[in-house]
């Protein structure tokens, strides 16, 4: 079929879905978006291209779809119809579990009932979202006594208090019982209360220690059972983290042979930076001795001669890490002792990414040793995999040996990756963009009395666009990137630059306005405090007083968003009596339980106000009376101590560019639009947004921020309470 015929067929599928069910309401903006999706996905060349053939056609659409457009249907229907016509698959990537669940449990089943051609869909999650039953049996004390007790060492047991270990034992025993009774399916997200990472990590599945079909409990493996559901699925729902971590693997469909939708696409740049960053712990190195002993023993069993070198390499690597720690203490120890705190790490960033000369040779040595040791481990792992294939009767024993080796190898990979990034050229060398490099110092177990200092090294790229362009977009043929907030101050420029799509000839942008009448449905009120927001102490005191006065007037549901935990704590401390009783504070309850409690209070006719921070500023859907007011304590600028942001701002200044106008303001505009977007969720909502930061109306950049908001009726309120149109 010709591209125009496929596009027409895809748009017809969307129209038919809209006509077939009253659950979907036709909106002009929604159809405009569906047209763009159909045109994009029909134009791209997918699959293998012959060496003497034409260059493949790439097509990427960046679509801002305002709240209420109904973007899920606008991209699902034409994308699926195109995939069926072209005999390929659709991969939908989101940033949040909530949207994944909405797609898999609501949107896709509803669409499947409407489309004439049947299609299958499934949810793909990272391996770490599922329990490893082999690990769980170890930690719950139900493992096969014939297996090696050293398989999954419990490092927490050496220093955790007795009551903590008892609580862990109870938790793991309950997981075992729930799995046995089918009350739980092994998916972390399906637990009634999501566990802390310290509880989950020891029993989470990992690729490095997984032997697949050779595992003793492979036939009961939750991860592989879920993977089976994806076989033959035309639509696969993933998340951005899994998408990045799967680059170059066979875990997901090839990016050059599928249709890709990136919903909540404004998260993509940050996810990319996190994925390509690296860090290593220089202070806790006992794992190296354990890994070396395992590698020597297993390598000997596999007759890998190189394994004899592992103890020497590990000893040199461990000594090198100790030496580097001492050098760092010489460089920063005095400053750490003067500023140390029992409440968190102290950070020392390397200006312009330039390594002190004293660190260059030690880092090169660590990098070389880590690479050499990894090469030996890979040789041993390869021998184990071959043996598992050739000796099926020994597969159980061999798979346990493979898991032993794989449990600790990711730490060695971290050493190699971190040293490699730290050794990248500084900005002054060859005019290259620097890498953000920093070290953290923190008091160890026992706090101020222990004397132990935990030192970690960190490195990260600073330009997400460059990283995405090189590692991601070069693989993609057909994609739609969408979100309610992709423009900044009314322009796509910032997002295109951040995402790596600026100047990409395959990329085009479209803004689809929300169907909501913001001027009629909402008010955005800037409260002008007397104190300047830059005067933190005076401003917070005045803002808290004004905010609590407004919170006292809330009749139904409201959301109050803060830019720091300290700021939120001060506001909570100011609550008194009945006012405290109607406030729910982030962190005091699990997120799902807190929102459930909020709904119950409002639906019962009471007042309920949620106090939260950044994570509550987006993805929270509280329509109608559940959120009639949004309070924004202060403009949501990024934290001032973010080392990657600092390094990027430093580099921009060094090349004659203004980081505040080029980076800080556009990023804040997107965040502010997300926060304000919590107010109006349906065509019938009526809501107020209050922001207590006078810079919105008193500065030129503040007025730029206002231009990027939905078109609320804007008002100003003086500290004395006088309201005027603005």
Give the CA radius of gyration of the chain. 27
Question: What are the pLDDT digits (tens) for 195-225?
Answer: 888 889 888 998 888 888 888 788 889 999 9
Average pLDDT of the chain, as a whole number: 90
The strand pair at 687-691 and 629-632 is best described as parallel
**How many angstroms separate the CA atoms of 639 and 613, rounded?**
12
Nearest partner of 373 among 408, 327, 401, judged by Cα: 408
What pLDDT is stored for residue 183 in this prediction? 93
User: Measured between alpha carbons, how far apart are the two ends of the chain, in Å?
Assistant: 55
Residues paired with 62 in a beta bridge:
481, 509
Residue 100 neighbours by CB distance under 10 Å: 21
Task: Give the range among 33-37, 47-51, 363-367, 662-666 with minimum mean pLDDT.
Answer: 47-51
Query: Which CATH number describes the domain made up of 3-120+232-273+465-512?
Result: 3.40.50.300
Residue 26 neighbours by CB distance under 10 Å: 12
Q: Quick one: pLDDT band at residue 646, thresholds 50, 70, 90?
A: very high
Whether this prediction's pTM lies above 0.85 is answered by: yes
CA–chain centroid gap for 694, Å, is: 32
Question: What are the pLDDT digits (tens) for 218-260?
Answer: 888 999 998 888 988 999 999 999 999 998 788 888 999 999 9
H-assigned helices in 340-392? 357-390
Task: Give the range among 430-439, 628-637, 700-709 with minimum mean pLDDT.
Answer: 430-439
Residues paired with 92 in a beta bridge:
237, 261
What pLDDT is stored for residue 430 in this prediction? 43
CATH architecture of 518-725: 3-Layer(aba) Sandwich (3.40)
Give the Å distances, CA to CA, from 225 to 177, 213, 221, 388.
Answer: 19, 12, 6, 21
- What mean pLDDT comes out for the span 436-459? 81
SS3 192: coil
- What mean pLDDT comes out for the span 500-521? 96
How do the residues of the chain divide into helix, strand and coil, expressed in percent and rounded to 5?
A: 55, 15, 35
If one compares 163 and 644, the residue with the highest pLDDT of the two is: 644
Question: What are the pLDDT digits (tens) for 538-547?
Answer: 999 999 999 9
Asked if pLDDT for residue 455 goes beyond 50, the answer is yes
Question: What are the pLDDT digits (tens) for 675-725?
Answer: 999 999 999 999 999 999 999 999 999 999 999 999 999 999 987 777 777
H-helix or E-strand spanning residue 312 = helix 310-339
């Amino acid at each position: 079929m010709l591209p125009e015929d496929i596009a027409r067929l895809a748009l017809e599928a969307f129209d038919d879905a809209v006509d077939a069910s009253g659950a979907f309401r036709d909106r002009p903006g929604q159809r405009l978006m569906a047209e763009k999706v159909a045109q994009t996905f029909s134009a791209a060349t997918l699959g293998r291209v012959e060496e003497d053939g034409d260059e493949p056609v790439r097509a990427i659409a960046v679509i801002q779809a305002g709240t209420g457009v109904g973007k899920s249907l606008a991209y699902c229907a034409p994308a699926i119809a195109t995939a069926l016509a072209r005999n390929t698959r659709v991969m939908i990537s989101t940033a949040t579990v909530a949207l994944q669940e909405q797609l898999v449990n609501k949107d896709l089943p509803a669409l499947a009932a409407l489309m004439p051609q049947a299609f299958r869909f499934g949810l793909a999650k990272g391996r770490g979202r599922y329990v490893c039953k082999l690990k769980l049996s170890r930690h719950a004390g139900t493992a096969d006594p014939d297996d090696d007790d050293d398989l999954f060492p419990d490092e927490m047991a050496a220093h955790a208090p007795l009551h903590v270990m008892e609580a862990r034992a109870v938790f793991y025993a309950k997981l075992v019982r729930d799995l046995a009774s089918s009350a739980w399916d092994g998916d972390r997200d399906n637990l009634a209360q999501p566990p802390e990472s310290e509880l989950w990590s020891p029993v989470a599945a990992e690729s490095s220690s997984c032997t697949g079909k050779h595992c003793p409990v492979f036939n009961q493996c939750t991860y592989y059972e879920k993977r089976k559901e994806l076989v033959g699925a035309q639509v696969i729902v993933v998340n951005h983290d899994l998408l990045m971590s799967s680059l170059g693997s066979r875990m997901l469909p090839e990016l050059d042979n599928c249709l890709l939708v990136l919903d909540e696409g404004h998260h993509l740049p940050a996810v990319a930076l996190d994925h390509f960053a690296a860090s290593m712990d220089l202070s806790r190195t006992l794992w190296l001795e354990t890994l070396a002993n395992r590698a020597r023993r297993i390598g000997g069993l596999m007759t890998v001669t190189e394994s004899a070198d592992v103890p020497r390499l590990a000893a040199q690597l461990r000594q090198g890490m100790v030496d580097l720690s001492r050098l760092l203490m010489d460089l920063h120890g005095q400053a750490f002792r003067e500023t140390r705190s029992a409440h968190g790490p102290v950070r020392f960033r390397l200006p312009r990414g330039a390594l002190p000369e004293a660190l260059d040779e030690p880092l090169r040595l660590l990098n070389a040793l880590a690479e050499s040791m990894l090469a030996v481990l890979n040789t041993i792992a390869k021998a184990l995999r071959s043996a598992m294939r050739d000796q099926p009767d020994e597969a159980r024993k061999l798979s346990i040996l493979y898991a032993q080796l794989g449990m600790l190898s990711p730490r060695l990979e971290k050493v190699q990756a971190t040293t490699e990034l730290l050794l990248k050229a500084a900005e002054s060398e060859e005019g290259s963009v620097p890498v953000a490099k920093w070290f953290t110092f923190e008091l160890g177990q026992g706090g101020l009395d222990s004397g132990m200092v935990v030192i970690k090294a960190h490195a990260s790229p600073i330009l997400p666009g460059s990283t995405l362009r090189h590692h991601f977009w070069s693989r993609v043929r057909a994609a739609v990137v969408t979100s309610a907030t992709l423009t900044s101050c009314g322009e796509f420029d910032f997002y295109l630059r951040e995402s790596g799509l600026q100047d990409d000839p395959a990329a085009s942008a479209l803004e689809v306005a929300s169907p909501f009448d913001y001027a009629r449905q909402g008010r955005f009120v800037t409260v002008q405090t007397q104190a300047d927001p830059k005067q933190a102490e005076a401003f917070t005191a005045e803002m808290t007083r004004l905010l609590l006065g407004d919170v006292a007037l809330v009749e139904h549901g409201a959301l109050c968003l803060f830019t720091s935990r300290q700021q939120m704590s001060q506001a909570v401390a100011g609550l008194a009596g009945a006012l405290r009783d109607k406030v729910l504070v982030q962190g005091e309850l699990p997120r799902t339980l807190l929102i459930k409690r909020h709904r119950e209070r409002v639906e019962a006719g009471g007042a309920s106000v949620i106090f939260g921070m950044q994570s509550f500023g987006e993805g929270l859907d509280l329509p109608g009376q559940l959120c009639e007011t949004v309070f924004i304590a202060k403009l949501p600028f990024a934290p001032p101590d973010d080392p990657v942001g600092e390094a990027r701002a430093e580099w921009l200044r060094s090349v004659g560019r203004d980081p505040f106008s080029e980076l800080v303001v556009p990023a804040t505009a997107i965040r502010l639009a997300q926060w304000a977007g919590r107010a109006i969720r349906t065509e019938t909502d009526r809501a107020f947004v209050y922001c207590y930061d006078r810079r919105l109306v008193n500065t030129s950049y503040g007025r730029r921020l206002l231009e990027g908001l939905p078109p609320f009726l804007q008002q100003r309120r003086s500290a004395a309470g006088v309201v005027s149109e603005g």
